[in-house]
Amino acid sequence: MAKILLVEDEIDLSQLIHEWLKTEKHVVEVVSTGEDAVDRLKFYKYDVVVLDWLLPKMSGLEVCREYRSRGGTTPILFLTAKNMINEKEAGLDAGSDDYLTKPFDMKELSARIRALLRRPQIFSGSVLQAGPLELDSSTRKVLFNGEELQLLPKEFALLEFLLKHQNKVFSSEALIERVWNSESEASPEVIRTYIKRLRKHLDIEGKKSMLQTVHGVGYKLEIVDD
């Protein structure tokens, strides 16, 4: 049994999927708009999201990007009539885990959901976000307050890692192990140097830095409230 959020605006199809998944002993919650989906995902935990691409006001693609940008890890299965390769690529790059083209067989839907439930939950989107900071790992671009930052490769890699693990503290040794090459001779001093460089890009005068030093422990990136 899994708790599933179904986001589908076609009433007949939505009811059909709902009833089918209920017979499979899943707990299913249904919404019909992208905005409602975003609200549900902010406040409730699900095991799988079955998400239509074409939705009123806010597309499934936008829902997926927004959810992944906040670090959401729940597996997402797109349901859509779109079957062009570039469209599938866009969906996967936005952070979806699987893709089912309409029309489809309910047995295949069930099989794909079972496959997603067997996967470890990891972040799979390309866009990471924390407050005014946005990093796109697919294009290697970083925006801060809407302006693109010019980062060195290791600055980008370190920032990307900390964004993927927001609010978690990592020692210098752990950062070296996770971000630097295994044969690297990087030291804690190197980490301090890169943290300082990133702060020059991200710190705003009079505001708490997003890159926090936890004395005696290490570093973390946290969203700073205004």
The fourth-level CATH superfamily of domain 3-118 is Response regulator (3.40.50.2300)
Q: Is the pLDDT of residue 98 over 60?
A: yes
The full DSSP string for 71-132 is: T--S-EEEEES---HHHHHHHHHTT-SEEEESS--HHHHHHHHHHHHHS------SEEEETT
Query: What was the pLDDT predicted at 10?
Result: 93
Q: Please write the tens of the pLDDT for every residue from 128-164.
A: 888 889 888 778 899 998 999 999 989 998 998 898 8
- Of the given ranges (16-20, 160-164, 172-176), which has the lowest mean pLDDT? 160-164
**Domain at 127-221, CATH from 3.40.190.10, 1.10.10.10, 3.40.1500.10, 2.60.120.10:** 1.10.10.10
The answer to whether the pTM exceeds 0.85 is: no
Query: What was the pLDDT predicted at 125?
Result: 58
Q: What percent of the chain has pLDDT over 90?
A: 46
> Residue ranges per domain, the chain?
3-118, 127-221
Q: How confident is the model at residue 226 (pLDDT cuts 50, 70, 90)?
A: low
